[in-house]
Chain A
Amino acid sequence: MKIAVLSGKGGTGKTLVSVNLASVIANSVYLDCDVEEPNGRLFFKPEHPIEEDVNVLIPIVDQERCDGCRACVEFCRFNALAIIKGKVKVYEEICHSCGGCTLVCPQGAIREIPKSIGRIERGVSHGVDVRTGILNVGNESGVPIIKKLLESVDDDQRNVIIDCPPGSSCVVMESIKSADVCVLVAEPTIFGAHNLAMVYELACVFEKPVFAVLNKTLAGENPSKTFCIEKNIEIAIDIPFDEELGRVNSNAGIIVEVDENHRELFMDLYDRIQKGVGHEAATHS
């Protein structure tokens, strides 16, 4: 089963939930798709990870062959090409590597060359197969790295926890595409409920079963809980606000390894997801 963990903004507890969930499931895979700031590895600390470069293709123009016809400039929907004084200039950071310019060039003056945009680190720690996507600073989109991370678990029969980037943009869509279930982490505030609504809407577009995890809960009203009740979203677990949890987490500790109550809480989360998704599968068949 592939379990995507997402939230409408950063700091709600995606990594907390992902790391601890992966830790209570035997023989699991943890994928860090938050490639702009992957921090799951800070908790797992895999030793001697294996690194692999991630490249994209970008166009390079043979100015001798180019006759300045503009076919490429007009074709590019992202405006990654400009023609100045008869010479084509490529803006690599705008390019989406579609290869279209190469195809439309009547002179065959454009070819594609690989450009490194980041890397994937793999290592095993605490019995978890940890795979981290890392986007190089200054690069625009982590989508190709996320694609590669997910491809690496395509035929994997183990449980895969996908730690998503925050928000609901392209990188999040890419991260949840192949997931069997989405776990939405939300804070107990009006802002938290708004962010929950964003990712809930996204998960609905992708027709994924959803579960909510209410994090940092306190006594009193919880707008995120109200939203879940309104939308009939199953609240898998509540993680009450807890200073000790905060302390362990901010020291890059894994709470389920040091606290039995939290271990039980995350085991409960896994059980509920399994039962819920199993039920979903049964009703669909």
Chain B
Amino acid sequence: MRILLPVNEQDLKTELSPSFGRALFYMVHETETNETTFIENMAATSPGGAGIKAAQSIVDLHADVVITPRCGENAADVLKAANIRLYQSISETALKNIEAFMNNTLAELTQINPGMHGHGG
């Protein structure tokens, strides 16, 4: 299974990025091999639609699970269409979040935020 988490530092002990679409990196964890890699989020500096672009890249990576503190409605829509499951993170490090998920103690993400959608532009 491939688990993905939004982060701003390439470090297992970093806390998760408060923004899903504009996180600087995504931490990708393979449960079968226990391998962890970081990939750059090309959508982080996108002028608009960052959530959709970020979610598209996650769909293309064939992630199975996303653990995040929050997620905008468009990003969630893209992820759900690809049957990617969304889980609510806990205020702990990325590594602890993965452990919590493996121990079945994370809840599914139910609160989807309305996006910024051009506000502030």
A interface, CB within 8 angstroms of B: 73, 76-85, 89, 91, 93-94, 140-141, 169-170
Q: Does B81 contact A (CB under 8 A)?
A: yes
Q: Are B52 and A79 interface neighbours, CB within 8 A? A: yes
Q: How far is the CA of A22 from the CA of B81 in the complex (A)?
A: 52
Q: Does B46 contact A (CB under 8 A)?
A: yes
Q: Are B52 and A91 interface neighbours, CB within 8 A? A: yes
A-side contacts of B59, CB under 8 Å: 82, 84
Q: Are B55 and A82 interface neighbours, CB within 8 A? A: yes
Q: Does B56 contact A (CB under 8 A)?
A: yes
Q: Which of B47, B81, B121 is in CB contact (< 8 Å) with A89? A: B81
Ordered by A's residue number, 14 sampled pairs between the chains whose C-beta atoms are within 8 Å are A78-B48, A79-B46, A79-B52, A79-B56, A82-B52, A82-B78, A85-B81, A89-B77, A89-B81, A91-B74, A94-B52, A94-B117, A94-B118, A140-B117
Size category, B interface? 10 to 19
Centre residue among A81, A84, A91 by max chain B CB count within 10 A: A84
Q: How far is the CA of A156 from the CA of B52 in the complex (A)?
A: 43
Give B120's nearest chain A residue, CB to CB.
A169
Q: Are B82 and A84 interface neighbours, CB within 8 A? A: yes
Looking at the assembled complex, report how far the CB atom of B90 sits from the nearest CB atom of chain A, in whole angstroms: 28
Give A167's nearest chain B residue, CB to CB.
B120
In chain B, positions 18-72 with a C-beta closer than 8 Å to chain A are 43, 46-50, 52-53, 55-56, 59
Q: Are A80 and B49 interface neighbours, CB within 8 A? A: yes
Nearest 10 A/B pairs, CB to CB: A79-B49, A79-B53, A84-B81, A79-B52, A140-B118, A94-B49, A82-B56, A78-B48, A82-B78, A84-B82
B-side contacts of A80, CB under 8 Å: 49, 52
Q: How far is the CA of A93 from the CA of B81 in the complex (A)?
A: 18
Q: How far is the CA of A94 from the CA of B77 in the complex (A)?
A: 14
B-side contacts of A91, CB under 8 Å: 49, 52, 74, 77
Q: Are B56 and A73 interface neighbours, CB within 8 A? A: yes
Q: How far is the CA of A68 from the CA of B121 in the complex (A)?
A: 31
Give B81's nearest chain A residue, CB to CB.
A84
Q: Are B117 and A79 interface neighbours, CB within 8 A? A: no
Looking at the assembled complex, report how far the CB atom of B45 sits from the nearest CB atom of chain A, in whole angstroms: 12
In chain B, positions 75-102 with a C-beta closer than 8 Å to chain A are 77-78, 81-82
B-side contacts of A77, CB under 8 Å: 47-48
Q: Are A94 and B81 interface neighbours, CB within 8 A? A: no
Q: How far is the CA of A84 from the CA of B83 in the complex (A)?
A: 10
Q: Are A89 and B78 interface neighbours, CB within 8 A? A: yes
Give A94's nearest chain B residue, CB to CB.
B49
A-side contacts of B47, CB under 8 Å: 77-78
Q: How far is the CA of A85 from the CA of B121 in the complex (A)?
A: 32
B-side contacts of A140, CB under 8 Å: 117-118
Q: How far is the CA of A79 from the CA of B44 in the complex (A)?
A: 12
B-side contacts of A84, CB under 8 Å: 56, 59, 78, 81-82
Q: How far is the CA of A83 from the CA of B59 in the complex (A)?
A: 9
Q: Are B48 and A94 interface neighbours, CB within 8 A? A: yes
Give A73's nearest chain B residue, CB to CB.
B56
B-side contacts of A73, CB under 8 Å: 56
Q: Which of A76, A85, A94, A141 is in CB contact (< 8 Å) with B74? A: A94
Q: Which of B48, B77, B118 is in CB contact (< 8 Å) with A79? A: B48
Q: How far is the CA of A84 from the CA of B53 in the complex (A)?
A: 12
